[in-house]
Structures are given as C-alpha cells and as structure tokens.
Amino acid sequence: MTMTTNKETKTNIFNTIKNDPEFFIRRCKSEDLDDVIDVNEKELPEDYPYFFYKSILDDFPECFLVAHNKKGKIIAYIMWRVEKAPSVNSLKYINKGHLVSIAVSEGYRRKGIAKSLLSNSMTAIKKYKIHEYVLEVRVSNYTAIRLYEKFNYKIESIKKNYYRDGENAYYMTLDAKDF
C-alpha cells in the first residue's frame, strides 16, 4: 500500500489479498448511500428509509463498509450499530455491536466478499469498545447462518415472529474476545 498523508485515503483502503482483486472494501461515504439502498432493496426484504442509513453512517462510520468492483460500482455493504445493554451478571451496562444488515449483489456472491466485509467491520467496531457481537437472521436463511457460523457465532435464542411476514429469527452472538 502506498503511504499517504491524505487521511481519507489512508482510513478507507483495507488490505486486499490478490494482486488483481475483483472487489475492494472501503468505508461508506454519504454519496454511496443511494447505491447501498439499491443493493439492499434488490437483495433483502427488510428495507429502511434513507435517514436510517444516514444516521447509522453518522453515528458508527468506522464499521459501515462497502465493497465495489473495478469500475467503482457498489456491490455489497455491511452496517452495524452499537447498543448499550444491561449485562447478564452485573448491574453494569455493556456495549453490543449489533449487525444491522449485510448484503452482496447476486452476481458477486461466493467470492468471499461477505467474509471480508464481516472481518474488516468486526475489527473496526472494536474501536467502540464492544463486549459482544449480536445479530438476527431468518431461520430459513441457511447461507447467512453458515457465514456467521464460520465466524463462530452461536444461536443464543429464537425470536418468534421477528419479521413482518411472521418468520422467526435466530439471535446469534459472539463474544468480542473470541474474534
């Protein structure tokens, strides 16, 4: 990687393994949000209004990442928020990193983009001093469940009727010190 004093460039480029990579990972910018929303609307039934994405980007920019192809087209995203929650065994509050959403455009699946987005963002979100990673996933979403299991997330409980169409969610968690 070239050294540069440009902060934007330095913080936005993540390590890429290959010499001629098919995709690139960097932090999301406001200008990317319309493209992120396009990916979301094509790939997931859970849609959110623009201001929701914008507030997540404003509040937790370190761990809102996108992948783009060689032409600069946005092909995937991941976004997290940090939540304060009471700890199970004390009166203290702890920070949880909550995976809000990840999606990869259909034509770019199975190339390791999701793995790369997850690992880079899970490292980045540690800056917010989280104790645990948490997420919900449709019980029928075999592909995504496999992905999370690769990172050692475990099913902690089932949230009944979690989705608007009535489907249940698995609540999956991973201790921050296990990543």
- Establish if 147 lies at the interface with ligand ACO (CB under 6 A): yes
Residue 174 binding target from ligand ACO, Zn ion, none, CB below 5 to 8 Å by type: none
CB within 8 Å of 91: residues ≥ 6 apart: none
Q: What angle do CA 87, 56, 138 make, to 5 degrees?
A: 65
- Establish if 136 lies at the interface with Zn ion (CB under 5 A): yes
For ligand ACO, the nearest residue by Cβ is 114
By DSSP bridging, strand 93-104 and strand 132-138 are parallel
Q: Least distance from C-beta 71 to ligand ACO, angstroms?
A: 18
Q: Least distance from C-beta 22 to ligand ACO, angstroms?
A: 11
Rounded to the nearest 10°, the torsion over CA 169, 146, 81, 123 is: 160
Q: In what order do the strands lie in the sheet with 65-68?
A: 24-27, 65-68, 74-86, 93-104, 132-138, 169-175, 154-159
Share in percent of the chain as helix, strand, coil (round to 5): 35, 30, 35
- Based on CB atoms, which residue is closest to ligand ACO, 28 or 102? 102
- Establish if 145 lies at the interface with ligand ACO (CB under 6 A): no
Task: Find the binding residues for ligand ACO in span 11-50 (CB under 6 A).
Answer: 43-44
Judged by CB under 6 A, the residue of 37, 63, 74, 104 near ligand ACO is: 104
- Establish if 132 lies at the interface with Zn ion (CB under 5 A): no
**What does the alpha-carbon distance between residue 106 and residue 88 come to, in Å, rounded to a whole number?**
39
Q: Least distance from C-beta 137 to Zn ion, angstroms?
A: 9
- Based on CB atoms, which residue is closest to Zn ion, 27 or 138? 138
- Based on CB atoms, which residue is closest to ligand ACO, 13 or 145? 145
Judged by CB under 6 A, the residue of 73, 115, 127, 129 near ligand ACO is: 115
State the helix-helix crossing angle for 142-150 and 113-124, rounded to 10 degrees.
50
Give contact residues for ligand ACO (rule: CB under 6 A). Answer: 43-44, 99, 101-104, 109-115, 135, 137, 141, 143-144, 146-147, 150
